[in-house]
Amino acid sequence: MESKSPKSKGWWWWLLVFVIAALVVAASLITLWKNFRCLGSKGHHDSGVTIVDKYAAALSIAMQFFDIQKSGKLVDNRIAWRSDSGLEDGIEANLDLSKGMYDAGDLVKFGFPMAFTATVLSWSILEYGEHMKAVTELEHARESVKWITDYLINAHPTANVLYIQVGDPEVDHNCWERPETTTERRPLTQINSTCPGTEVAAETAAAMASASLVFKKINSTYSKLLLKHAEQLFAFADIYQASYSISIPQVQSYYNSSGYGDELLWAASWLYLATGDPSYLTYVTVQNGNKYANWGSPNWFTWDNKLAGTQVLLSRVNFFGAKGIPTAENLGLQMYKLTADAFMCGLLRDSPTATARRTSGGLIWVIPWAALQYSVAAAFLAVVYSDYMLTSQTSALYCNGELYEPIDLRNFAISQVDYVLGSNPMDMSYLVGYGNRYPQYVHHRGASIPVNASTGCSDGFKWLNSTDPNPNVAVGALVGGPFLNESFIDSRNNSMQNEPTTYSNALFVALLSGLVSTSSVGPSFA
C-alpha cells in the first residue's frame, strides 16, 4: 500500500488537534450511534441484534462454499452434487488426511492457504459470533473450522513433522475430473527439522491457536488439544527457521512464500491471546518487532502477508488490554497500532494518504489474480478496526491532519461488499448464487462436470471446454473478480478471474459477519 510520510507538525498544531478532538468526541459518538441505528432500520431484529437482511442472505450463501470444498466422508452433506472423496488421503504415511478442504477449483490440499482459511474463519467467529448466531450460521462456521483443524491435527503427527500438501499439483492440473472419481496418486509433502518450512508451520500454529479460542467454552478438551499443537508448531517454526519455498522448491509454482517473518508474528500474536503468556507478547514486540513488523509501512492482508492482520489484532490489545503491560512491550504495541492507523488511512478514499490502488468503481484492486481477496480482506480489517474504535470510545482516526470517524471505516467496508454483491460497472454479483446475475462458468472441476458423467483424467477436459454453463452451481463461491478496467470474462478457462479460492471465501465471510449486524464488537473475545 502506498503510504506517504506524515508531515512535520509543531506542538501548537497537536494542541489544536487535541482541543478539536475533545470538542467533537461527544458529538461524534452520538452521530455514530444515530448512523448505526439508521443503517439497522433496513434490517430486522433478532435476539436484540439488528440484522441487515441483504448481508444475512449473502452470508448464508457464502458459507455454503466451505461445504462444496470439503474432502473426506461427508457428514450431513448440504451439497446435492458432492459426496465422499479423498478417503485414502494420507494412507502412505499411515495417517488419516481425508478431511480438510480443496484449495480452489482443483483437487489439491495446500496446507498453507488452508490453515489461513481456518485462522480467518476463527477470527470472524471470535469477533462476530453473536452476529453469526443471529442468522443461524454460527454452528455452521464452527463446523467448517473443525473440518480443517481435524485435518491439521492429523497432519501434525509429531512435534517437528507437518504434512503440508496432499496431491501433486502438476498431475492435478493435467486432469479435469470430479474429486469423487479421481484415481490419480496423491503423494504427501512434509516439512521437518531437516526440511523446514517456517511460514507453513507458523500459519498452522495460528490456525490452531485461534481455533482453540473458538472451542474453549464449548469443547475444552478439543481446545486444549489444539493449543498443544499450536505451541509445538510455533516452537518448530521458530527454532528451525527457513522458508518452505527454499526447502521445497516445487511449491514456488503455486503458493510461493515471500517470507516467514509475518507468519511468526501472526502466530505469536494468536498464541498470546490464546494463552495470556507474556513471552509471546515480548516475542512480537521487544524481540522481533524491529526485525519483522515493518512498522510504519502498511501492506495488504493476504494468504502470503499477515502483517496488516497482525497490526489490527495487536491493536485489539492496545485498545482493550494494555493495562499492566511493561513499557517496552507497550511501546511495541503502539507501533503496531500506528501502522494499523496508517493502513486504515490508506483505505479511506478522501484521506490525504489514500491508496490509488482501486478501480474507477471504488474497489480496492492490487493484482489480477484473485483480485477480490485484497478488497474483502482490507474491508474486513476496516470493519473490525471501526468496531474497536467505537467500543473503546476512540472517536477519531488521524490521517495527516484530517480527522475520520469509525463510521467512515465502516462505510468503506460497505462500499466494498456492495461492489462484490452487484453495485459495480458490470452490474453483476461476484458471489455465485447471490442476486439475479452471477458467473455461470466458474472454474471449478466439481461444478463443471455432471454427477453422472463417466470421465477419467484427460477426457474430462471436454467439460472444461464446454460452452454450456456449469451443470452444478458452486453456490457461495467468491470468484477472482474484475480487472482494473472493471471488465470480467465469464469463462471456465479464465482461472485468473473466474476461479474461487477457499481462503478468499473465508475473508468474505468474515467481512459479511462484521456487517450483517450494526452492533459493534465487545472488548473481549466471546
CA distance 172 to 202: 27
Asked if 295 contacts 338 with a C-beta cutoff of 8 angstroms, the reply is yes
CA distance 117 to 162: 17
What domains does the chain contain, in order, with CATH numbers? 53-516 (1.50.10.10)
* 295 contacts: CB under 8 Å, gap ≥ 6: 289, 335, 336, 338, 339
pLDDT the model gives residue 401: 94
Cα→Cα distances 112→102, 409, 515, Å:
12, 30, 27
Residue 405, all three cell numbers: 470517524
Asked if 417 contacts 55 with a C-beta cutoff of 8 angstroms, the reply is yes
Residue 26, all three cell numbers: 461527544
- DSSP assignment string, 368-414: STTHHHHHHHHHHHHHHHHHHHHHTT---EEETTEEE-HHHHHHHHH
3-state SS, 45-114, equals EECCEEECHHHHHHHHHHCHHHHHCECECCCCCCCCCCCCECCCCCHHHCCCCCCCECCCCCCCEEHHHH
Residue 175 has a CB neighbour count (10 Å cut-off) of 19
pLDDT the model gives residue 336: 98
CA distance 333 to 273: 14
From 302, 268, 291, select the one nearest 1 (Cα to Cα). 302
CA distance 263 to 292: 9
CA distance 62 to 58: 6
Asked if 137 contacts 129 with a C-beta cutoff of 8 angstroms, the reply is no
Asked if 301 contacts 373 with a C-beta cutoff of 8 angstroms, the reply is no
pLDDT the model gives residue 523: 73
pLDDT the model gives residue 41: 33
Write out residues in the chain with pLDDT < 70, as ranges: 1-48, 526
Asked if 110 contacts 257 with a C-beta cutoff of 8 angstroms, the reply is no
Asked if 176 contacts 445 with a C-beta cutoff of 8 angstroms, the reply is yes
Which active-site residues does the annotation give? 443
CA distance 289 to 519: 33
Sequence-distant contacts of 21-27: CB under 8 A, at least 24 apart? 21/395, 21/396, 21/403, 24/395, 24/396, 24/403, 25/393, 25/395, 25/396
Q: What is the DSSP letter of 364?
A: B
pLDDT the model gives residue 117: 98
Q: pLDDT tens for residues 377-432?
A: 999 999 999 999 999 999 999 999 999 999 999 999 999 999 999 999 999 999 99
Render the burial of 374-384: b for 16+ CB within 10 Å, e for the rest.
bbbbbbbbbbb
